[in-house]
Amino acid sequence: MTIKYNLTLEDLMAFSKYHKHHRSEYRAFNQISRRLWWVGVLPLLAVILQWNALMDEPKARWFLIIALTIAGFFIVTLVTIHLIQSRALKNYYINNKGAFGEHTVSMGPDGLKMKSDLGDSNTLWTGVVRVEQNEKYIFIYTNSIAAAVIPKMAFALPTLSQEFYAEANKFWKGGGN
């Protein structure tokens, strides 16, 4: 089975987001980030709810300053980490323009063949790490951090993308048999 499609920056960014949220190392970081977010938001909520009382007492103003500092620190830190990661990734993809454009992925019992402006590659099914999908893409991982990113929109019918995914899964789990 063969599919030809155009890969865009948005497709690669979607893969990175999917990969980040589905790798165990990143999952732990994301769970911690979600919990730390509240460490920043709770002091901010306390300040908002107690604004009038805090403004009347000089000692309470210190609470206001400390609470806003804590909230600001955690919120700015988490947002900054996210923005730096996103920009760095986008710049990486933009500087590797050969990753965009026309791609062809063919698969059969002998393995996975990928062709793009960057070159051609052949991977045996025993070299495929995993085959996954989400609502918009099929990902055939050729190592722990890289995958063939196949947009489901490239298929003429949604059933064809499901057949492609099922066949890739069958070959991968069977080692090509």
| ∠ Cα 165 167 170 (to 5°) | 110
Question: Structure tokens of 60?
Answer: 């309470």
More confident residue, 67 or 150: 150
pLDDT at 99: 76
Nearest to 107 by CA among 48, 31, 168: 168
The C-alpha atoms of residue 69 and residue 54 are separated, in whole angstroms, by 15
- 62: amino acid identity, one letter: W
Count of C-beta atoms within a 10 Å radius of residue 171:
22
Average pLDDT over residues 132-153: 91
pLDDT at 69: 79
The C-alpha atoms of residue 143 and residue 128 are separated, in whole angstroms, by 7
Average pLDDT over residues 83-102: 70
More confident residue, 69 or 151: 151
